[in-house]
Amino acid sequence: MKDESHRLGLGSFKALGGGYAVVRLLLEEAERSIGRRINVGELHEPDVRAVAAGMTIGCATDGNHGRSVAEGARLVGAKARIFVHDDVSARRIAAIAQFGAEVIRVKGTYDDAVAEATRMCAANKWLLVSDTSWPGYERIARLVMQGYTVLAHEALEAMVDPPTHVFIQAGVGGLAAAVAGYMAILLGANRPAFVVVEPSRAACLLESIRAGQPVKIDRGEATVMAMLECYAPSLVAWRVLSRAADAFMTIDDEDAVMVMNLLARPTGGDPAIVAGESGGVGLAGMLRVAADVNQRAALRLDADSRVFVVNTEGATDPGCYEELVGLTPNVVLSNKPANCKASSR
Ligand SMILES: Cc1ncc(COP(=O)(O)O)c(C=O)c1O
């Protein structure tokens, strides 16, 4: 298990994507306006800072992505406008605002926040840095996904032999596609089997695979896996996963909570891992398959398998973690609503 709960002090792997895209986009803009090649070591040069000071970055979020974008903007000296929907708590807003970003509330759902961020960015010539993509908006979401590939790179470096299986959780599919695409390109014929794991209450990729095309699903009951509660796949992620994933499956809220507890109280000398509600979902998927003789055979999962999973977040809602695990998390980051049941992504 690759543990992303400490990533860049932001508590989730999302720290790798939005901030990276902001830096890349600033370098492009600086090259255009200064008229020479600029490398990342020059981010703090006065002429580059001056370009950044004229830039405003926008995005929609309900937590981790907005934080990453806000931190990236602060790092380079740009302004950030982060759009959040109705259900986003004051605590989460504060966690984004601490990076100097202006947080703008939007009536409705995450989708409404995406629509408003898109509209406002177009109207004001702000740069939209989204973690999801749709027809006509792909390039920047791809940069965000490229940022995620760092974790796959680090994981392969740390392994003696590459994995035979990857069980990876998905919201819009950006992370799963980044890992699957990266490993497929690097490992070729030796690539592992990829299993995409979603909450049963928000399985937009599974339904898209069934339909043979990306589909938006109806919003149902909220899932405890708040960061995976997405109702439409990212177009770029869909293109990768519809080719590179071998299986799609769902788990239930109870599985997600069970695995949080399992990771908090390991046996056999394994270190304890603090996993938030969406953190251990890939592992929960693997355990489900391992418990079913037919699924195990279908995926050739056996005693010789080397399985790779990612803990994608720590206790990003400490109150929720305590409620579900009965322990005080040692990684305390508050970027999600206090009510762990009634939340969207
Ligand atoms: C902790 C965590 N895990 C997994 C995901 C899923 O990533 P994606 O939406 O790219 O599939 C997210 C997305 O926000 C997340 O915050």
Q: Which of 56-65, 84-93, 266-275, 298-307 has the lowest mean pLDDT?
A: 84-93
Tally Cβ neighbours within 10 Å of residue 150: 17
Tokens 């990876």 correspond to 168
Within 6 A (CB) of ligand 1 lie 12, 14, 64-65, 131, 169-176, 227-228, 230, 278, 312-313, 345
| Interaxial angle between packed helices 139-158 and 18-34, expressed in degrees from 0 to 180 and rounded to the nearest 10 | 120
Kindly state the percentage of the chain with pLDDT values over 90.
82
Q: Which atom number of ligand 1 is nearest to the Cα of residue 145?
A: 10
How high does pLDDT run on average in the chain?
Answer: 92
Cα 46 to ligand 1 centre (Å): 35
Six token digits for residue 277: 């509600």
- 46 burial via Cβ count (<10 Å: 0-12, 13-18, 19+): exposed
14 in catalytic set: yes
Instruction: Supply the pLDDT for residue 343.
Output: 42
CA atoms within 13 A on the CB side of 60: 23
Q: Which amino acid is at 317?
A: D
Q: HEC string of 13-55?
A: HHHHCHHHHHHHHHHHHHHHHHCCCCCHHHCCCHHHHHHHHCC
Query: Looking at residues 168-183, what average pLDDT do you find?
Result: 97
Please say if the pLDDT value at position 53 is more than 50: yes
Instruction: Supply the pLDDT for residue 197.
Output: 98
Tens digits of residue pLDDT in 17-47? 999 999 999 999 999 999 999 999 999 999 9
Query: Looking at residues 282-298, what average pLDDT do you find?
Result: 98
216 in catalytic set: no
Please say if the pLDDT value at position 160 is more than 60: yes
Look at residues 252, 184, 254, 305 and name the one whose alpha carbon lies nearest to residue 296. 305
Cα 209 to ligand 1 centre (Å): 19
Instruction: Supply the pLDDT for residue 333.
Output: 45
Catalytic residue among 14, 111, 131, 253: 14
Among 2, 3, 14, 92, name the best residue to mutate to test ligand 1's pocket (greatest count of ligand atoms within 8 A of Cβ). Answer: 14
Cα 175 to ligand 1 centre (Å): 7
Q: Which atom number of ligand 1 is nearest to the Cα of residue 313?
A: 1
**CA–CA gap between residue 107 and residue 113 (Å, rounded):** 8
Q: Which atom number of ligand 1 is nearest to the Cα of residue 276?
A: 1
Protein residue whose Cα sits closest to atom 14 of ligand 1: 227
Indicate whether this model's pTM tops 0.95. Answer: no
Please say if the pLDDT value at position 330 is more than 80: no
Pick the residue with more confidence: 64 or 148?
Answer: 148
What is the rounded end-to-end Cα distance, in angstroms, of the chain? 23
Cβ atoms 205, 177 nearer than 8 A: no
